[in-house]
Chain A
Amino acid sequence: MSDTSLFHRLQQAQAQVNQLIVGKREAVETAFACLLAGGHLLIEDIPGVGKTTLAHTLAITLGTSWQRIQFTSDMLPADIVGVSIYQRQSDSFEFHPGPVFNQLILADEINRGTPKTQSALLEAMAENQVTVDGKTRELPQPFFVIATQNPLDTAGTFPLPDSQLDRFLLSISLGYPAPDEERKLLAGTDRQVMLKQLTAVLQTSDLASLQQQTRDVFRSEELLNYLQALLSASREWPGLKSGLSPRAGLALMHCASAIAVLSGRDYCLPEDIQRVFLNLCHHRLIHSNNIDNSDNTAEQLSADILASVAVMEADHHRI
C-alpha cells in the first residue's frame, strides 16, 4: 500500500462502523470491499438485525452525500429519479432531482417497491445516469447503492428478477449477533444517538484513490487460473440453473482485489477470492428446480464449489 495514512484511515473507518454494528466484522469488511470494488451492495436479512443502521453508518463514515429511499408498494419511479415541474414564472419545466442524485443511496427494503420502481433505481445503478423527459443526466460520482431486502417469503414483497440481482456486486446478511455481542449491544448506547455523533472518516477523494488501488492490485496467472477454475466448476455444477457469468467472474476478481487492499496488500490471493465467494454467489446461483433456493442452500452450494476446486492446479504452465 503506497499511502500508509490512507490505509490507516480505511482501518479507522472500518473500526467506526464496527463500533455500531457489533460482532459483524466480516460483514462490514465485505461491505467495504464492495464499495472499493465500485459495486452496489445488497443487504439481505430479516428485519431488525441492523441492516439500515449499517447502511446509515457506512454513508456517514464515507463522507459522501447520501439519501435514504424507503421503498413502498405505492412508490413511483419519479419518486426516485426526480420530476420536471412547470414553473409559471419562467414558463418552462424545471427538473427537480430525486433522491437518486446523491453519491450514496440507501434503498431500504427494495423488494417492497413495485418492479417498475425497482427498475428505475436499477437502471441508474447500471448506467450511472438517469433519463428524464428525454434528457440524460449524469449521476454524481462515486455512486453507490446500498439496498436492503427482506427475505423473499416475507409478505408484501416483489422479488427482484435475476438480471437485476446481478447488478449488485455482493450480498451480505447480518444474522443474529453472538450472545456476547448481543449483551454488549443491549448494554451500549442507543444506536440512534451514536449515529448522530458519527463523523466522516474518509473523503470522496480517498474513495477514488482506494478504488484505483483496487484496480491496480496485481493478479498473477496462478490466481486467475484458480478464479477461472471456480467459474468453470460453478457452470458444471449439478442442480444449478446456470453458473457464474463472465460478469460475475470479473466481479469476483474485483471484490477479491478489494479484500487485498483492505488487508494492505497490493496483490490478490486465493484466500481473498474464497473470502468473497459466498457473498458473490449468494444472490447469483440459482437452483434449477427453483423451489429450494433458501439461503442455506446457496451457502452450501458455494461452499461445495469452493471445496471442489484445488487452489493450486498441478500444471498451469502447459504450453
Chain B
Amino acid sequence: MNKAIKSLPLSSKAVLWLLGSLLIASLPGWLIFPSAIMLFSLAMIAWRFLNLYYNWRPLPNWLKPLLVIIAMATLYLTYGQLYGRRIAAAMLLLMMSLKAVELHNRRDARVLASLGVFLATTYFLFLQNPTMLVYGLTIVVLLLQSLNVLQLEFIPTTATADQRPSLLRQVPEIPGISGLISSLRIILYALPLGIVLFIVFPRLATPLWGVPEAALDGKSGLSDEMSPGSIQNLFMDDSPAFRVEFLTRRPPNSELYWRGPVLWNFDGRRWSTLYRGYRIIPPEQLPAVTTEQSIRYRVQLEPSERRWLYALDYVVEKPADSRLTRGYQLYAKQPVTNPRTYSITSEPAFIDIPELSGAYRKMALDLPAGYNPEASDWVRQLRLQYPVQQPSYNTENDILLIKSVLEYFNQEEFYYSLNPPLLGHHSVDEFLFDTRSGFCEHYASTFTVLMRMAGIPARVVTGYQGGYYNQAGEYLLVRQSDAHAWAEVWLDGKGWLRVDPTSQVAPERILSGAMDVFSNPRNWHDFTWLRELRNNLDLIQHFWNNWVMDFSAYSQSQILKNLGLGKLGKRWIALIILLPIFLTIAATTLFLLKYRSIRSRNPAVRAYRSYLKQLEKAGFKFSISDDASTVAHKVSEKLNNKQSIAAAWLVAESVNKYFYSKQAISIKAFETLVKGSLSKILRDKG
C-alpha cells in the first residue's frame, strides 16, 4: 500500500460508522471503569462527532499532549497507581478515544478499528458471561463493517494529488444488509480456527483474567460482617452466587443451608468473624462419612473476590487448594476472582465438636455489657423455668429453653419483613418487645443473643439457603437474593446445632425460597414472570460456564488424551495444529496475490462482468478490448427487437457513465439496470 493512500482523507460516512462503532465499543466500560475515565473517553469521541457535524477545525497540535497528560492524570487519580490489568485496559480506552480525536485519514481509521477490537477483547478480562460474548461480537461486526465502508470507497491507487478530490466523489452506497452479511461472514470464516485454537492452544494453569487485582471490586455478596439490613440488601440482588449440580441425591430445600462466614463477635449491633475462627480445624475433628446420607455435588462459583467456598454441612471431601476452618467453613487459598468449579462431598449427620474448649466457649457466650436489659430479664425468667442441669451433658432443659424461645417467635406477632423499622441502642429489646418485624438477620441475631444470655454457647452463621432448581439443566441456581443468616447453638455431646428462627416466623422462606414470602414486588421491575424467565435463561450461563469458562488446562489435556495426542508435549501439539493453519494462510495469501484480478472487489465491475458472461453464454463473442459501446454494437447487431437494442445501448451508456463520468450513479441502480437489460436481451435472443 502506498503512502499516499494511507493519508487519503476519509468520507464523513466512514467517520460516522467508525465513531459509532467505537462509541458502542466503549460502552461496556461503564461496568468496569470509574465514570471519570468513561466521561473523558466519551467526551473525546463526542468531540469528533461534533467536529464532523459542524466541520470544526482539528485540534491544535499543542493541545494534544495536554489532553494526554489530562488523561493520564485522570487515570492516576482514579486508581492511585499505574499498574494492573484494569488500569491498562482503562489506558487503552483513553488512548483509543484520544486517537479518535485525530481521526483524519485511512491509516488513523484502521488503527482505531484495530484498537476497538483490542478493547473489546480486554473486556473479557473482567466480564466473561455470554452477554459480553454477544456484545463483543457485535462490536467486532460493527468495526468490520466500518472497515468495509472504508474499503469500498473508490480510492485509486494511481491517483495523483490533483485528481484526488474528483476521484473521491465515487463513494458508492454501502448496502447495509449485504455489508453486514459480509462482516458476519468474515467472523464465520475465522470461527473454525478460533474453536481449534480454543481447544488445543496451550493453556496457562491460571487464565489471564484469573490474575488477582490489587483492588477489590466492591462486588456485592456476603461479607464477613452482619448488621441489620446487610442481608436484606442482598435480597434485592438477583445475580447468581453459585450453581450446584448434585451427583448423588438432591436434599430438600429445607436442608440446603450453604455455609458461609461464621460470626462470633457481637458489639451490640454488628456481628463479625473471629480471627481464631479462621484457624484450620485440627485433624481429629475432620468430618468423616458416617452414614449413607452423604451428598456429592459440584459447585460452580461466580467470582466473589472472597476466599469462601460455599458448601453444605459437613464437608468430607474438599478441593485441594482449600481448607476447613474451625467454624467448618470451606476456605480457599486464593480469592475467587474467576468462575471456579469444585466438587464436594458433604455428610450432614456428622457431629462436629462434642466438647467445646474453654476459650471458644467463652467467645460463644460473650456479650457486650450494658445492652438489652429487658431481654436479659426475660431470659432470666425463662431460665428459672428451665434451670441449668448438671452434669453438663444433660441438656434437656437447654433444649426446652430453645424450644420455648422459638415458640415465642412463632406464637407472638412477629413479622418477616423487607422494611423493618430501624432499631436503636437496645436493638434486641426493641425487636423482641416492640417492633417485632425483621429480616432473617434480625431473627438470627436476636436468637443468638438470647441464647448467650441464657448461657448456651451460640453463634450466627451466614450463607445462602435454598435455591432455584432448574429442571431443564438439572442444577440448582443460588442467587445473591438467597442469602440467609441462621443461628447455631452448642450443646454438650451434640456439638453445634443449626437453629433457624426465621423458619418459625416464615416457614415458606425455608421451604420454597424468600421470593414466595412476599406478595409485593421488591421494586417496580420485579415481576414473577420476569423472575421465571431469568431463572430459565440462566441455563445458557450454566452451559457457558460448563463448556467454556471451565475449560482449563486439565480439561484440555483430557481432550488431547482422548484424541491420542496426550503423549506429545504441548509445544508439539501447538506446532502440529498451527503449522497447517499457517501454511493454509500462506498458500491462500499467495493465491490471492497471484489471482487477485480474477474477482473484482468492485461490485459494479462484477455486475458488468456477469452481464458479459451471460451474453457470451447466449452466443455473443466479445474480446477483452471491447469497450461498452463496441459490446452494445455487437449485441444490437444480432437483435431484432427495438426495446432490447435500446436496452443493450442503455447498458453501454450506464457503464460509461458509471465508470468514466463525474455523474454519481448508485451501485444499486446500476446493478438493477444491468440485470434488467440482460433479461430483455436474452429474451429477445430467445
Residues of A that sit less than 8 Å from B by CB: 218-225, 228, 265-271, 274, 306-319
Contacts and interface: CB of A to CB of B under 8 A. Distances in A.
B627 A271 contact: yes
B5 interface: yes
Contacts of A271: 627-630
B158 A224 contact: yes
B216 to A, nearest CB: 48
A224 B609 CA distance: 19
Highest count of chain A CB atoms <10 Å: which of B5, B154, B596, B656: B656
A317 B602 contact: yes
Contact of B627 (A228, A269, A317, A319): A269
B5 A315 contact: no
Main secondary structure of the interface of A (DSSP, over half): loop
Interface residues of B, number: 36
Contact of B605 (A220, A268, A312, A319): A312
A312 B625 contact: no
B656 A269 contact: yes
A319 B608 CA distance: 22
Interface in B604-627: 605, 608-609, 623-627
Interface of B: 1, 5, 151, 154-159, 163, 166-167, 170, 596-602, 605, 608-609, 623-630, 656, 659-662
A292 to B, nearest CB: 24
27 contacts: A218-B166, A218-B662, A220-B167, A220-B661, A221-B159, A221-B163, A223-B660, A224-B156, A225-B158, A228-B158, A266-B661, A269-B660, A270-B660, A271-B630, A307-B623, A308-B624, A308-B625, A309-B624, A310-B624, A311-B627, A314-B596, A314-B609, A315-B600, A315-B605, A316-B157, A317-B602, A318-B596
B625 A306 contact: yes
Nearest to A230: B625
A283 B596 CA distance: 36
Contacts of B156: 221, 224-225, 316-317
Contacts of A313: 597
Contacts of B158: 221, 224-225, 228
A309 B600 contact: no
A317 B601 contact: yes
Nearest to B626: A311
Contacts of B159: 221
Contacts, number: 101
B241 to A, nearest CB: 52
A314 B605 contact: yes
B624 A314 contact: no
B5 A220 contact: no
Given A220-B167, A223-B660, A317 B155 contact: yes
Contacts of B630: 271
Main secondary structure of the interface of B (DSSP, over half): loop
B1 A319 contact: yes
Contact of A314 (B600, B656, B660): B600
A306 B623 CA distance: 11
Nearest to A268: B660
B103 to A, nearest CB: 18
Contacts of A312: 605, 608-609, 659
Contacts of B163: 219, 221, 224
B107 to A, nearest CB: 11
A274 B625 contact: yes
A120 to B, nearest CB: 36
A274 B155 CA distance: 25
Contacts of B626: 311
A221 B154 contact: yes
A315 B601 contact: yes
Contacts of B598: 314
Contacts of A218: 166, 660-662
Contacts of A306: 625
A222 B659 contact: yes
B660 A267 contact: yes
Contacts of A274: 625, 627
A310 B625 contact: yes
Contacts of B1: 319
A314 B167 CA distance: 18
A220 B660 contact: yes
A222 B662 CA distance: 12
A222 B155 CA distance: 11
A318 B630 CA distance: 27
A319 B624 contact: no
Given A223-B659, A314-B599, A314-B600, 18 more contacts: A218-B662, A219-B163, A221-B154, A221-B167, A223-B660, A224-B156, A267-B656, A267-B662, A306-B625, A307-B623, A308-B624, A311-B624, A312-B608, A314-B609, A315-B599, A316-B602, A317-B156, A317-B602
For the complex of A and B, the 3 pairs showing the least CB-CB separation, nearest first, are A221-B156, A310-B624, A267-B661
A25 B605 CA distance: 34
B591 to A, nearest CB: 14
A268 B5 CA distance: 24
Contact of B659 (A220, A265, A314): A220
B660 to A, nearest CB: 5
Contacts of A310: 624-625
A242 to B, nearest CB: 22
Contacts of B155: 317, 319
Highest count of chain A CB atoms <10 Å: which of B154, B600, B625, B629: B625
Nearest to B630: A271
A319 to B, nearest CB: 5
Nearest to B158: A224
Contacts of B5: 319
A266 B656 CA distance: 12
A306 B626 CA distance: 9
Contacts of A315: 596-597, 599-602, 605
Highest count of chain B CB atoms <10 Å: which of A265, A309, A319: A319
B588 to A, nearest CB: 16
